[in-house]
Amino acid sequence: MASNDAMLLHAQGLNQNLGKLVETFATRFALSSTTGSFPLAGAATTTVSDTNVKSGSIIMLSATNATAGALMGSGKSLYILAKVEGASFTVATADGTAASGGQTFDYVILNAG
């Protein structure tokens, strides 16, 4: 059985290596995020202005009221229709018909590098 001192040295070395690995991933795959919110228009599409949008952005939506939750569970569920780099993104209803309006959403924009 290894001594406590040897086990402690091994754990310290492992901790240092894990720290270097985490630092490498954070540097190599740097992610930035932006958050915001918007009300949904009574239309089939809604454009959300945000200068942090890039062509490769990952945009995630979260319903913040009951009517938004019901919309997301229906055939009208939103998807990201378009991204305009440095300007905006547009959401659209999946079935192409107008939403009733009044739904509210939070969003997160993730950008690599």
Of 74, 70, 72, which Cα lies nearest the Cα of 61? 72
What class has domain 30-112? mainly beta
**pLDDT tier, 4 (very low <50, low <70, confident <90, very high otherwise):** low
Please report the pLDDT score of residue 26 as a whole number. Answer: 58
**Contact indicator for 103, 72 with CB cutoff of 8 Å:** no
Of 102, 13, 16, 109, which Cα lies nearest the Cα of 55? 109
Residues 6+ apart with CB under 8 A from 47: 88, 89, 90
Write the pLDDT tens digit of every residue in 24-75: 755 666 677 889 999 999 999 999 999 999 999 999 999 999 999 999 999 9
pTM: 0.73
Other C-beta atoms lying within 10 Å of the C-beta of residue 47: 15
